Structure formats: C-alpha cells, structure tokens
Amino acid sequence: MDKDQKIGAPKEGPTNRHVYLLKMWREDENAPWLIMLQSVDGKIRKTFTNMESLTSYLDSRIDI
C-alpha cells in the first residue's frame, strides 16, 4: 500500500468498491431467516437462505 494512501480509502477504479443493502427477515419466529443482498444501483439482487452462501457470494466478488 502506498504510504500516502489512507486506510479505508478506496483505490481508483469501478470494481474496487461494492455497495449493498442487506435485508434479513423471516415470515414468523419459527421460519428460517432469509437474506437479500441488493446493490445500491439496483442492478444486482440476490437472495440467500444461509450465511454461508452469502459469504461465499461476497468472497467471489472480491480478490483478497
């Protein structure tokens, strides 16, 4: 990392930042949780039934 670059500051470029709205809900207290991830521009909307599939998807979007 460049010593002049602030921690947390995004690098330049369109694929270096992903911003999502995360919604978690269930139909009733006995129902499983559902997770919806939507990009703020509305172009991507994914629904997940567990945290593992959510984190797997997010891992696929970045290259750490």
**Rounded Cα–Cα distance for residues 33 and 24 (Å):** 7
Alpha-carbon dihedral sign for residues 26, 47, 55, 21: negative
pTM given for the model = 0.68
Confidence class of residue 1 from pLDDT cuts 50, 70 and 90? very low
Q: Which of 3-7, 16-20, 38-42 has the lowest mean pLDDT?
A: 3-7
Written as one letter, the residue type at 45 is R
